Structure 1
Amino acid sequence: MLTTQRKHYLMDLLRRDGQVVAKAVSEALGLSEDTIRRDLRELAREGMLQRVHGGALPALPASPALADFNARARISPDTKAAIGRAGAALVAPGQVVFVDGGTTTGHLVRHLAPDLRATIVTHSPSVALALLGHEGIEVIMLGGRLYRHSVVGVGAATVEAIAQVRADLCFLGVSSIDPDAGLSTGDFEEAAVKRAMWRAAAHTVVLASPEKLATASPYRIAGADQIGALVVAHGTDEALLARYRALGVTVHVAGA
Structure 2
Amino acid sequence: MGDNRNLLAEQRRAMILDEVRRRGGVRVNELTRRLRVSDMTVRRDLDALARQGVLEKVHGGAVPVVEATAQEADFEAKAALEPGAKREIARAAARLVPPGAAIALAGGTTVFALAQQLVGAEGLTVVTNSVRVADVFHAAGDEATVVLTGGVRTPSDTLVGPVADAAIRSLHFDVLFLGVHGVSAAAGLSTPNLAEAETNRHFVRAARRVVVLADHTKWGTVGLSSFASLDDVHVLVTDAGLPREARAELAERLPELVVAGGGSALTRGTDT
Partner of 2:106: 100
What's the RMSD between the two structures over aligned residues? 2.4
Match of 2:144 among 137, 148, 158: 137
Query: Structure 1 residues 235, 58: CA separation in 2 closer, same or farther (over 3 Å shift)?
Result: closer
Q: Give the length in aligned residue pairs.
A: 201
Match of 1:119 among 101, 125, 140: 125
CA contact (8 A) 1:174 1:185 kept: yes
| In 2, Cα distance between equivalents of 1:80 and 1:199 | 25
Match of 2:177 among 171, 175, 181: 171
Where structure 1 has 5 or more consecutive residues not aligned to the other structure, the ranges are 1-49, 51-56
Instruction: Report the Cα offset of residue 173 of structure 1.
Output: 1.1
Measured against aligned partners, the alpha-carbon deviations of 1:213-239 in whole angstroms (never above 9, x if no partner) come to 111111011111211110000242222
Identity of aligned pairs, percent? 34
| In 2, Cα distance between equivalents of 1:66 and 1:145 | 15
| In 1, Cα distance between equivalents of 2:67 and 2:122 | 39
- Alignment of 1:239 onto 2:245: yes
| In 2, Cα distance between equivalents of 1:89 and 1:134 | 22
CA contact (8 A) 2:126 2:145 kept: yes
Where structure 2 has 5 or more consecutive residues not aligned to the other structure, the ranges are 1-55, 57-62, 263-272
Query: Structure 1 residues 157, 206: CA separation in 2 closer, same or farther (over 3 Å shift)?
Result: same
CA contact (8 A) 1:234 1:254 kept: yes
Q: Which amino acid aligns with 1:203?
A: R
Instruction: Report the Cα offset of residue 65 of structure 1.
Output: 8.8
Partner of 1:252: 258
Partner of 2:201: 195
Partner of 1:209: 215
| In 2, Cα distance between equivalents of 1:107 and 1:64 | 24
Match of 1:226 among 221, 232, 249: 232
CA contact (8 A) 2:180 2:190 kept: yes
Instruction: Report the Cα offset of residue 62 of structure 1.
Output: 5.0
CA contact (8 A) 1:63 1:211 kept: no
Give the ranges of 4+ consecutive aligned residues of structure 1 lying more than 4 Å apart after TM superposition. 62-65
Instruction: Report the Cα offset of residue 104 of structure 1.
Output: 0.6
CA contact (8 A) 2:70 2:192 kept: no
Instruction: Report the Cα offset of residue 64 of structure 1.
Output: 11
Q: TM-score, normalised by structure 1?
A: 0.73
| In 1, Cα distance between equivalents of 2:151 and 2:92 | 30
Per the alignment, in what secondary structure is the counterpart of residue 115 of structure 2? helix
| In 2, Cα distance between equivalents of 1:92 and 1:221 | 26
